[in-house]
Amino acid sequence: MYAHLGYRPDGRGIAQHGAPAAYGATVTVDDDLVLYLTRRVKPKRNRGTAIVETAQGILLASTHDGLFLLPGGGVEPGETHLEATLRELREETGLRAESAF
């Protein structure tokens, strides 16, 4: 899958040849890899949440692959960064914060 997106473990692809600049444009990397621009994806805004350490410790969320991360996630359309922070904290931990400061 990554090869089709222009990423190769040996470094060939977007890093060396650049990305297509316009719809329908192509960049030929080599005989078996041609990059096509079919659409532009809007950048996603993300928001992280940091919790102050208490006597009980620091709040971290566990992921399915065993990693531990701070609660966080995307900002929904029409939502402020503060609203996203409070929502993500509630969704991922069940905790409700009164203030983010």
Contact 100, 85 (CB under 8 A): yes
Domain positions in the chain are 1-41, 46-93
Which tens digits make up the pLDDT trace of 52-68? 556 666 666 666 666 66
Rounded to whole angstroms, how far apart are CA atoms 45 and 73? Answer: 9
Q: How confident is the model at residue 46 (pLDDT cuts 50, 70, 90)?
A: low
Residue 45 pLDDT: 59
Coil/strand/helix, residue 87 = helix
pTM for the full predicted model:
0.41
What torsion, rounded to 10 degrees, do the Cα atoms 7, 13, 15, 19 define?
-100
